[in-house]
Amino acid sequence: MKRYSVFAVAREGARHHTGWERAWRSPEPKKSYDVIIVGAGGHGLATAYYLGKNFGITNVAVIEKGWLGGGNTGRNTTIIRSNYLQDSSAAIYEKARDLYETLSQDLNYNVMFSPRGLIMLAQTHHEVRGYQRTAHANALQGVKTEFISREKVKELVPIINIDGPRYPVLGGLWQRRGGTARHDAVAWGYARACSDMGMDIIQKCEVTGVRRIAGRVVGVETTKGSIDCNKLGIVVAGHSGVLAEQAGFRLPIESAALQALVSEPIKPCMDVVVMANTVHGYMSQSDKGEMVIGGGTDSFNNYTQRGSFHHIEETVRALVETFPMVSRLKMLRQWGGIVDMTGDRSPIISKTPLENCFINCGWGTGGFKAIPGSGWAMAELMAKGYSPLAAEFSVDRFKEGRFIDESVAAGVAH
């Protein structure tokens, strides 16, 4: 596969861009693979990529019932951070953030990683104490964060109102190397690299069953026929419970829609990411000038990928007091993604009761930021049977009482 470079752009410009090749192949499935990954989102593609890069396993098929990156990977607000309280959470998110730093060079594809910095606002005295505690924990974990004053928050975000009558800004947890990346580009970059290694990315191919013999996975049934495999990875976010049922086991997860929206494009006014967890809203400005706005999940289980009017009201109402300018913006579009929530709001990266079947799910509302670290850990688990990054996220923790409760510890499950 040809490398992308400034010289390639100049060459193709001179010949009217007639020499570009497809970024990835779209083959028909083979009869058998060493590994099948179900789910061609960021986590599934990253798993396949690190299987090839780190372990030389390239006889791999990534199967997607829709189109590549068309699920949660293309439906999120692109926030990247690693300032979590629990050691196991901080480790895998910091691994992901570190991999994001050089991901464009590694994939030879511009994922538009922007370490613009991220502030988690402290708007109650409880949050002040909580974020100061997190800053100390991050220092021990080797994650660079700091608690900053309200004056520093105002300096970094001039458009913010720090004197709100209900929830004034008292300070913030600042991660200088947090930020955003281009969600589609992350999926496309991984897909291109996987295809270049000889892996098959098979779209419009729905898995309809998991074949088992004597408690061991031997293949899958799909809308494009039966495919054999030695190992199976299930990486399908909100549909994990459906695939797990086909494989003969249940998962402690529930699915709900997480909604987001963007405003009309405006001139640059905010060059950091801001999360306001007390009122549960977060906002950043895209490269196109749109204000990217998100909030919490729907309060009821569902599989919808559409927006709703009550979400606009709840989320924008939460942000208007802190960002008065939001009240004067027109909303451009809205969407939803199906997120998979565990009881402790932490992911599952684990072996399953079905031998040689592995699952990666439960990322809830914070999956995008974890994509490189998640793929790294899942690939190591599938190749070697054990991964230090994934060890604490085993599904067995729920029956053993080893919860990693980030929703309580960090004050937010993003």
Q: Give this prediction's pTM.
A: 0.95
Tens digits of residue pLDDT in 344-377: 989 999 999 999 999 999 999 889 999 999 999 9
Domain positions in the chain: 31-82+84-109+183-252+344-409, 118-179+255-341
- pLDDT value at residue 305: 80
**CATH topology identical between 31-82+84-109+183-252+344-409 and 118-179+255-341:** no
Residue with tokens 């565990």: 342
Kindly tell me the sign of the dihedral angle through the C-alpha atoms of 102, 53, 9, 18.
Answer: negative
What's the confidence (pLDDT) of residue 299?
78
pLDDT at 413: 45
For the stretch 48-59, pLDDT in tens is: 999 999 999 999
Q: How far apart are CA 76 and CA 147, in angstroms?
A: 27
User: What does pLDDT average to over the chain?
Assistant: 93
- Taking only the tens place, the pLDDT of each residue in 129-153 is 999 999 999 999 999 999 999 999 9
Average pLDDT (234-239) is 95
- Residue 385 CB burial class (10 angstroms; 0-12, 13-18, ≥19): exposed
What angle, 0 to 180 degrees and rounded to 10, lies between the N-to-C axes of helices 371-384 and 87-101?
Answer: 110
CATH number of 31-82+84-109+183-252+344-409: 3.50.50.60
Tokens 């050691």, located at residue: 87
Whether the per-residue pLDDT at 211 is higher than 80: the answer is yes
pLDDT band at 291 (very low <50, low <70, confident <90, very high): very high
The per-residue pLDDT for 304 is: 83
What is the share, in percent, of the chain residues with pLDDT greater than 70?
A: 98
Residue 306's pLDDT is: 79
Look at residue 409 and tell me whether its pLDDT is greater than 90.
no
Asked whether residue 255 carries a pLDDT value surpassing 70, the answer given is yes
Tell me how far apart the alpha carbons of residues 24 and 43 are, in angstroms, rounded to a whole number: 17
Q: Which pLDDT does position 410 carry in this prediction?
A: 46
Residues 226-244 have a mean pLDDT of: 96
pLDDT at 156 > cutoff 60? yes
pLDDT at 411 over 50: no
What kind of architecture, by CATH, is found in domain 118-179+255-341?
A: 2-Layer Sandwich (3.30)
Segment 73-94, tens digit of pLDDT = 998 899 999 999 999 999 999 9
Q: What is the pLDDT of residue 319?
A: 87
